[in-house]
Amino acid sequence: MMTVGNRSGFLALIIGALLVWSTASPAHHGWGWATDEEFEITGTITDVRLGNPHGEVTIEVDGAEWVIEVGQPWRNKRAGLKDELLSVGREITVHGHRSARKGQRLVKAERVVIDGEDYNLYPGRDS
Beta bridge partners of 49: 56
Average pLDDT of the chain is: 83
User: Bigger pLDDT: 127 or 47?
Assistant: 47
User: Bigger pLDDT: 57 or 8?
Assistant: 57
- Where b means 16+ CB within 10 Å and e means fewer, 56-83 reads ebbbeeeeeebbbbbbbeeebeebebee
- pLDDT, average across residues 10-24: 54
Q: Give pTM, 2 decimals.
A: 0.73
What integer pLDDT is reported at residue 37 of this predicted model? 86
Given a contact cutoff of 8 angstroms between Cβ atoms, the answer to whether 13 and 72 are in contact is no
Cis peptide before 53 (omega within 30 of 0): yes
82 contacts: CB under 8 Å, gap ≥ 6: 76
